Structures are given as C-alpha cells and as structure tokens.
Structure 1
Amino acid sequence: MQPEWRVLADADALVERLAAALCAEAEAAIAARGVFHLVLAGGTTPLALYRALADRRAGDARWHVWYGDERCLPADYPERNSVMLEAAWFAASSIPPENRRPIPAERGAREAAAVYGEWLEGVGDFDVALLGMGEDGHTASLFPGHGWGDAPDSADVLAVHAAPKPPPERVSLSAARLNRSRRVWFVITGSGKRKALLCWKNGETLPASVVRGKLETVAWLDAAAWPVNE
C-alpha cells in the first residue's frame, strides 16, 4: 500500500507546509478529543521542522509528545533525540515537562523498552506519528534484517540490539504500535534517500513501508529526494 507522496520544491518549503499542517491537525484533534498525541521523529532531518514549531510557539498543555525511538546514550548526550528536541523546540514551547515523554534509554535497551511500554499503557491511538527514513529504508530504529514488531500482537516498544548504525543499542516503538496512529507522516529530504524511495515506490518491503496510518499515510518529500527520473 503506497503512501500519498507530497513533493515540495525544497526543504524550506517542506518545513513551512508541514509545520502549518501539524498545527492544524493539533487544533482539529483538540477540538474533537481535547488532547493531541504526537510521536516525534529523531535524527537531524526533522530539526528544521522543530525549530519552525518553536518559532510558531506551537504546543500547550493539551499536547502530549512521545518519541519514536532513542539511542542508548547518557541522558545529557548531545546526540540523544531528547536533547536535540529540547534545544530545538521544547525550551521555547508551553508543553509542560510532564507531557514530554522521552524514552529513558540511559537505563539500557531492555529496561527502557519495558518502562516506556508501561507509560504507553492506556494511551489510545496517536493522532500523528512523525517519522523519518534512512538511506536503507529504516524508520525509527526499525532496521532491515531486524525485527520490526509488525505482528498485531507485538509489544508496543522494542529493545534493539546490534543496530547497523551507531550506537548499536536503541529503543524503538514497534511497527504495530506506530500503526495505531490516525496519521503517519514521513519527513524525507535529500538525494541520498532516492534509492530507498524507489524501492518503496516499486513495492519492496522496507521497515518504512510497513508503517501505515489508520486514516492516512503521507510521505512529505523535497524535490531532491524524489526519484522522478528513475
């Protein structure tokens, strides 16, 4: 099942459109249910988006933010997703600290996965899951050749060992838990992603391709990533 492919002229145009769309979706969710549950992508690609959300003063006490994955590094390590997000967005937001739920990956993959799974108990479908995609087609910390937790009875959170990119120990939401999202939005930029996107377009099974939103799945792309001539 293919996502909706939304190709923007460049990364700046993508960030502007996506930030507006995310804020609109938050308003709709809050109007309908009084709360907005958002899963955040890690890594460096979405940082421009998070800075744009900071500029918009996006987020308040009705927003609840979760993490798609985290590296098992010290809690204050600069390359932790939680550290990058605090600097890029949360420090300038009105989202209360208790609504910002980083994965406690400093405890190690197995313990952190168990703890985060407990935190998610009783939490219903996410409103939006923001995800990236690597050059190998991985998303969150679900890598080719590793278990993706895509069976319906999979645990919500996976301990990832021997990941093919450092650090090897990680924690990730499972594909099954990500599939309990109303909307799944991928944020993909740069020419290095073209090969994986072509595989996805051609129907190959990748970690990214098994994650689907209940209402919609959208791949937000810049023109550099889109394999238009392939």
Structure 2
Amino acid sequence: MEAARNRNTWHIHPDTAALAQRLAAAIARMAQEAIAARGAFHLVVAGGNTPRAAYAMLPQLGRDWQCWHLYHGDERCLPPQDPERNSLMLDTVWLSQVPIPARQIHHIPAERGAEVAARDYAAVLPPHAFDLVLLGMGEDGHTASLFPGHDWGLEKSSPATLAIHDAAKAPPQRVSLSGWRLQYTREMFFLTTGSGKRVALAAWLRGESIPAALVGTAADVWLDNAAWPEAVPGAI
C-alpha cells in the first residue's frame, strides 16, 4: 500500500521480509538507471538491522559494480572490527561478495575520533548530489546520528559532516553527515520497521519537528505494517 502526505510517500509493506526484498530490487534498479544516465551510482547507506536483509540480497541483484560509489550516513566512533560498526556489517553481508573498487567504498574513519574523522570524511564526499540516500529512524525520531535537541546541520552554511560528542545512544562519539548534505540527493528512502517506531511516525505525520521529519521533507518512507500508526490521530 502507498499513501501520499505532504511531500512524502509512505510505502507500507506487510512485513520486514517483503520490505527488504522490494528495497533491494529498488536499489538495484536505481543503480542501473543512474549508471545508464550518468555513468555512476552514488549511494549513501544506512546502518542498523532494518536494511541488513536488503544488503544481503544485493550481490545477486546488482551488476556493473565498478560504477558503484558508497558512503555512510553516520558511524560510531569504535574500532573497525567492533560489531557495532556500520562498516563491518556492510562488509560482512554485502561488500565482501562484490567487486566494487576499494577506492569507491568510503567508510567513515571513525576510529580516529569524531573531530578528525568528520574533517577527513568531508574531503571524500562528492561535490555533486548523491543518487540515493538511505536512512533509518530511531524511536526518538533521530536519523543518522542527528538526535533531538542537537544541531542537525540543516543550513547550507553548516559543515557537510558533523562531529557528535554526546549522542543520546551509546557510544556518545559519532560522525554524521549533516542534514543539508543528506538532503542533497536525487532520492531519499527512510527505512522504518517495528511497533516501537509508531510514536515517532505519528509525530512525523502530525508535522512535529523531529530530526527524521525535518531531514526527510521529500522522502519515500518504507515501513512495515507493525510500524504504521494507523490508530494514531493524524495517520491516514
């Protein structure tokens, strides 16, 4: 089921398996369209469990891997082999199985500390728009590592990357693309599953100023039935 509200489109899937399958197919299709039109596909990946199953399907669906360029929306300041690193998850379920050139896989060097990693990562971001940005949303409405009560970097005068020192979830030190840099993309998908996200999604539908809503002003929101706040005033 799909529903439109404001400038968002809400893709409601029966369960997480269906969402992952359709998401993987959409990413592969968008990659081919971008490569045919511009010779490259620039993708910002999200961490967490929601997109993991979709990433695992991409080795069978994708092609023209030499044209893919990958970036992260955020990363935790932990050692590279820490199981909480987004980069390790991506390498394990997807990148170890496909021949994307190493120079085109841009992991955030968060093990260097938030300030240094944010500065260094800003230098590798492309000057043009991304083709697709994938984002998740926390139960508090945060996205990437942009948490409520913090500077989200929505103004174009903000840096493209932000050093986070007091994240609301552990670890406190993180690196995140800023709000405006995440928005500088041809397409944006939010991936949200589970009943724990209903309150935040209802706030988004009501137009409240949570980070996900302010970053995803024109996003496609992919969710499962469990996350859809159908009984909440303001839902469709």
The interval holding the TM-score normalised by the smaller chain is over 0.9
Aligned residues: CA RMSD: 1.3
Output the amino acid matched with 2:58.
L
In 1: Cα distance, 2:97 partner to 2:159 partner:
33
Q: 1:71 to 1:152 in 2, by over 3 A?
A: same
Task: Give the corresponding residue for 1:10.
Answer: 15
Q: 1:59 to 1:77 in 2, by over 3 A?
A: farther
Question: Structure 1 stretches (4+) deviating beyond 6 angstroms?
Answer: none
Task: Give the corresponding residue for 2:3.
Answer: none
Structure 1 residue matching 2:103: 3-state secondary structure: helix
Task: Give the corresponding residue for 2:129.
Answer: 125
Task: Give the corresponding residue for 1:76.
Answer: 81
Where do 5+ consecutive residues of structure 1 fail to align?
A: none
CA contact (8 A) 1:54 1:88 kept: no
In 2: Cα distance, 1:59 partner to 1:154 partner:
34
Output the amino acid matched with 2:103.
E
In 2: Cα distance, 1:62 partner to 1:24 partner:
14
Structure 2 residue matching 1:224: 3-state secondary structure: helix
CA contact (8 A) 1:156 1:176 kept: yes
In 2: Cα distance, 1:48 partner to 1:175 partner:
26
Q: Report whether the alignment pairs 1:165 with 2:169.
A: yes
Where does 1:9-28 land on structure 2 (aligned, <5 Å)? Answer: 9-28=14-33
Q: 1:127 to 1:57 in 2, by over 3 A?
A: closer
Task: Give the corresponding residue for 1:108.
Answer: 113
Structure 2 residue matching 1:119: 3-state secondary structure: coil
In 2: Cα distance, 1:56 partner to 1:211 partner:
29
Task: Give the corresponding residue for 1:183.
Answer: 187
Which one of 47, 53, 56 corresponds to residue 48 of structure 1? 53
In 2: Cα distance, 1:59 partner to 1:84 partner:
22
Q: 1:129 to 1:113 in 2, by over 3 A?
A: same
In 2: Cα distance, 1:76 partner to 1:59 partner:
28
Which one of 202, 207, 219 corresponds to residue 206 of structure 2? 202
Structure 2 residue matching 1:184: 3-state secondary structure: strand
In 2: Cα distance, 1:187 partner to 1:217 partner:
10
Task: Give the share of equivalent positions with the same residue, in percent.
Answer: 52
CA contact (8 A) 2:28 2:61 kept: no
**After superposition, what is the alpha-carbon deviation per residue over 1:65-119, rounded to whole angstroms, capped at 9, x for unaligned?**
0000000001121110001110010011121111111000000000000000111
What is the CA-CA distance between 1:55 and the residue it aligns to? 3.6
Task: Give the corresponding residue for 1:221.
Answer: 223
CA contact (8 A) 2:142 2:211 kept: yes
Which one of 173, 178, 181 corresponds to residue 174 of structure 1? 178
CA contact (8 A) 2:183 2:216 kept: yes
What is the CA-CA distance between 1:56 and the residue it aligns to? 2.6
Structure 1 residue matching 2:75: 3-state secondary structure: strand
Where do 5+ consecutive residues of structure 2 fail to align?
A: 1-5
Which one of 113, 138, 148 corresponds to residue 134 of structure 1? 138
**After superposition, what is the alpha-carbon deviation per residue over 1:144-177, rounded to whole angstroms, capped at 9, x for unaligned?**
0111001121110000011010000000000010
Output the amino acid matched with 1:13.
A
Task: Give the corresponding residue for 2:40.
Answer: 35
Output the amino acid matched with 2:28.
C
In 2: Cα distance, 1:24 partner to 1:118 partner:
29
